């Protein structure tokens, strides 16, 4: 039987509706409006498109949101001073510095300068530490992993005691999703294995997975015979494999391919995310969720 297709666009829209209501209520009851600033250095086209999407969503949800564009040659000290300005601004609850930054800037230094309580990307070591400890210590969840967990839970896939196999050990997806899924609690409590480029027999591990999360950045890496029949497959890969003319705009747009051979895998899996339209739409939505959470905790 063909797999259920997990529709990230629909689930993200559902969460945004919930957030919109929460924002309106917060405004009405407490006079607090979630504030998000996105800082963009330079004009990298992909980054421009990402921050535009983040700003658009923030506006739609009723946030106080602003885009702060800085020139490519901004000195690191000036960028650090800007971050500090927003750290001190009570109207701002979330600060996002769009990556990558130009080579002359130490990315780690800039990210670590963000107040952990406004770090809605959840890149700061303090927030990663809180995430690892878990329970009431955890504050923000990193956006893509949080989106993955929402997709799994809202698709009705059981997680407690499930064998979860994560392919990839990046700091922004592989490591944090492994931590999230192993924590005690709802939507988690799984037995987690992480496989990576140093793993022996990656396929054998994948074949055991009730939930297979693939974030390797290798187009079509996971073959259909790596998938246990009925498994839930979450494909985080967004690989540009070429370009095509958009039917809507006539402009050239990238052709995206996931890390999983989708057409074949959907005949074996029980549920699967497509690329695009699976994990992708969730990331921005979870950034909004973190900003709402941050605003909520500012209420005395
Ligand atoms: N660049 C690409 N993805 C991201 C993201 O999730 N956060 C930030 N800050 N920069 C990015």
Q: Which tens digits make up the pLDDT trace of 213-267? A: 999 999 999 999 999 999 999 999 999 999 999 998 999 989 999 999 999 999 9
67 has catalytic annotation: no
**What band does 208 get if pLDDT is binned at 50, 70 and 90?**
very high
pLDDT for 56: 97
Query: Of 219, 163, 221, nearest to 196 (Cα)?
Result: 221
Q: Does residue 1 surpass a pLDDT of 90? A: no
- The DSSP secondary structure of 224-293, one letter per residue, reads GGGS-TT-EEEE---EEEEEEE-TTT-SEEEEEE-SB-HHHHTTT-SEE--SSSSSHHHHHHHHHHHHHH
214 vs 232: CA distance, rounded Å: 11
**What band does 277 get if pLDDT is binned at 50, 70 and 90?**
very high
Q: Ligand 1 test: best mutation among 39, 95, 99, 101, most atoms within 8 Å of CB? A: 99
Mean pLDDT confidence for 131-160: 97
Mean pLDDT confidence for 38-67: 97
Q: Is any ligand 1 atom within 6 A of the Cβ of residue 138?
A: no
Q: What is the pTM of this model?
A: 0.96
Which residue owns the Cα nearest ligand 1 atom 3? Answer: 99
pLDDT in tens, 166-186: 999 999 999 999 999 999 999
Q: Which class for 279: exposed (0-12), middle (13-18), buried (19 or more C-beta within 10 A)?
A: buried
121 has catalytic annotation: yes
pLDDT for 300: 80
- In whole numbers, what is the pLDDT of the chain averaged over residues? 97
Q: Is 159 in contact with 213 (CB distance < 8 Å)?
A: no
Q: Is any ligand 1 atom within 6 A of the Cβ of residue 48?
A: no
**What band does 91 get if pLDDT is binned at 50, 70 and 90?**
very high
pLDDT in tens, 6-49: 999 999 999 999 999 999 999 999 999 999 999 999 999 999 99
Q: Is any ligand 1 atom within 6 A of the Cβ of residue 190?
A: no
73 has catalytic annotation: no
Helix spans in 92-234 (H): 107-113, 125-133, 143-154, 174-182, 202-207
Q: Which of 55, 118, 121, 183 is catalytic?
A: 121
Q: Positive or negative, the Cα torsion across 48, 94, 276, 138?
A: positive
Contacts of 222 (CB under 8 A, 6+ apart): 167, 206, 212, 214, 233, 235, 259, 260, 261, 265
């Amino acid at each position: 039987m063909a797999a259920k297709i997990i529709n990230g666009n629909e689930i993200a829209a559902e969460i945004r509706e919930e957030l919109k209501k929460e924002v309106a209520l917060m405004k009405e009851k407490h006079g607090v409006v979630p504030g998000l600033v996105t800082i963009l250095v330079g004009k990298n086209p992909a980054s421009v498109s990402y921050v535009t999407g983040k700003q658009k969503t923030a506006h739609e949800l009723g946030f106080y949101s602003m885009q702060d564009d800085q020139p490519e040659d901004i000195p690191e000290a000036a960028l650090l001073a800007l971050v500090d300005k927003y750290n001190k601004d009570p109207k701002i609850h979330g600060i996002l510095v769009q990556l990558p930054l130009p080579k002359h800037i130490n990315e780690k230094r800039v990210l670590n300068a963000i107040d952990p309580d406004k770090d809605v990307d959840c890149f700061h070591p303090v927030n990663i530490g809180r995430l690892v400890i878990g329970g009431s210590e955890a504050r923000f969840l990193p956006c893509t992993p949080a989106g993955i967990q929402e997709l799994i839970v809202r698709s009705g896939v059981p997680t407690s005691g499930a064998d979860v196999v994560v392919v990839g050990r990046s700091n922004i997806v592989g490591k944090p999703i492994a931590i999230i899924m192993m924590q005690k609690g709802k939507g988690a409590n799984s037995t987690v294995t992480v496989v990576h480029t140093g793993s022996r027999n990656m396929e054998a591990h994948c074949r055991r997975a009730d939930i297979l999360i693939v974030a390797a950045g290798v187009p079509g890496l996971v073959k259909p015979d790596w998938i246990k029949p009925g498994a839930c497959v979450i494909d985080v890969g967004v690989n540009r494999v070429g370009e095509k003319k958009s039917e809507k705009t006539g402009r050239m747009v990238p052709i995206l391919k996931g890390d999983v051979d989708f057409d074949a895998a959907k005949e074996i899996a029980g549920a699967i995310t497509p690329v695009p339209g699976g994990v992708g739409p969730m990331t921005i939505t979870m950034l909004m969720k973190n900003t709402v959470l941050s605003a909520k905790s500012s209420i005395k």
